[in-house]
Amino acid sequence: MSGMASDHNTSSQEEYVPHYLQKGDPFASKLSREADIIAGFYLTVIGILSTLGNGYVIFMSSKRKKKLRPAEIMTVNLAVCDLGISVVGKPFSIISFFCHRWMFGWIGCRWYGWAGFFFGCGSLITMTAVSLDRYLKICHLSYGTWLKRHHAFICLAIIWAYATFWATVPFAGLGNYAPEPFGTSCTLDWWLAQASVAGQVFVLSILFFCLLFPTAVIVFSYVKIILKVKSSTKEVAHYDTRIQNSHILEMKLTKVAMLICAGFLIAWIPYAVVSVWSAFGQPDSVPIQFSVVPTLLAKSAAMYNPIIYQVIDCKFACCQSGGLKAKNSLKKSRTYTISAHRDSMVMNETQLE
């Protein structure tokens, strides 16, 4: 009986043929040349805007790196992840779309898949940490006050270690990186779930630890914040001016964080849904022409954050160089100044023109 079971398992594994081996050259584009050119131009625009925007965020933050608050340090880390996706990953896919095939072989495919997953996971876990920071600052003031810069750096080390671990797991034989169905990009081999139980465990582990769990923490944090805000106005009214203005600033920073998380999830959830459907649904159940759309939407996520920093009207070190001390120079931006009056620090909002 055991021999028959073994033969059955072997035959079932032999029946599985990855999608990238079913139609000849795995790196040949399955899209029309016109569609590839359009996708190439789209990614070029996205890549340029993302590189300039996130590069500007990092450059402006570096001017006052010793004064960055913990929340700002985490947001700079998010900009580093987004810049990494744009600089390390997008040139590979742009060249491949214009050439109508993946040009970098299996080594380049696995490198591209690793880099995309590494920086993408780093972005999501960073946003998870930011949401927890906002939750503590808004909902548990007694706990939020002890979060200092060195805690932010410890958190960064954990984030990078977490992203490195999960991005490197496929190289340990527990998974793989493979070409997308349309041929000109690479990603995690979601289709291993159709090959074996081990493949299903790999895919489910990635989904839980690198998407579902962080997303649940983010949603929980901001739901609690929204509920807290409804009653916070009356509570804060009993405090002095310094605490009231500090609370206003924290709420504006929270709005930035909420928009960043919303933009990221909106960009990546369609891709995650298509990937899960490809992993556990019927083979070829997702049309190739349809599968490329969520992929391109996910690649645009790195462009949103610098725009959000500029749109929200708040002092954020990542998008302004002014700092906390206002200077008497001509500027068309809003900053928050701290001035000393009778041994107490009063935060004033100053419009500089």
Comparing C-alpha atoms, which of 215, 191, 173 is closest to residue 277?
191
User: For residues 345, 351, 352 and 353, what is the CA-based torsion angle, rounded to 10 degrees?
Assistant: -170
What does the pLDDT average to over 264-276?
A: 87
Q: What is the pLDDT of residue 68?
A: 84
Contact 324, 338 (CB under 8 A): yes
pLDDT, tens only, 289-330: 788 999 999 888 888 877 776 665 444 444 444 444 433 333
| 295 CB-side CA count, 13 A | 25
- Is the alpha carbon torsion for 332, 334, 338, 339 positive or negative? positive
172, with CB counted inside 10 A (0-12, 13-18, 19+), is exposed
pLDDT of residue 142: 72
What stretch of H or E contains 66? Answer: none
Average pLDDT over all residues of the chain: 78
- What is each CA distance from 313 to 211, 251, 308, in whole angstroms? 30, 11, 10
21-27 long-range contacts, Cβ below 8 Å, gap at least 24? 25/101, 25/183, 26/102, 26/178, 26/179, 26/183, 27/101, 27/102, 27/103, 27/105, 27/109, 27/179, 27/183, 27/184
pTM: 0.78
| 29-43, 51-65, 137-151, 262-276: least confidently modelled range | 137-151
State how far the Cα of 304 lies from the Cα of 54, in Å rounded to an integer. Answer: 10
Q: Lowest-confidence range among 33-42, 163-172, 182-191, 277-286?
A: 277-286
Could you tell me which residues are beta bridge partners of residue 28?
101
- The answer to whether residue 287 scores a pLDDT higher than 90 is no
- Conformation bin of residue 260: beta by default, left when phi > 0, alpha when psi is -120 to 50: alpha
pLDDT at 65 (0 to 100): 81
Confidence band of 83 (pLDDT split at 50, 70, 90) = very high
CA distance 322 to 297: 34
Task: Map out the domains of the chain with their CATH numbers.
Answer: 33-317 (1.20.1070.10)
Highest mean pLDDT out of 142-151, 164-173, 233-242: 164-173
Among all chains, which residue has been given the structure tokens 């500027």?
331
14 versus 343: the higher-pLDDT residue is 14
Q: Identify the band that residue 208 occupies on the pLDDT scale cut at 50, 70 and 90.
A: very high
> What tens digit of pLDDT does each residue of 94-147 get?
999 999 999 999 999 999 999 999 999 999 999 999 888 888 887 887 776 677
Asked if the model's pLDDT at residue 343 lies above 50, the reply is: no
Report the percent of the chain where pLDDT is more than 70: 73
pLDDT of the residue at 228: 79
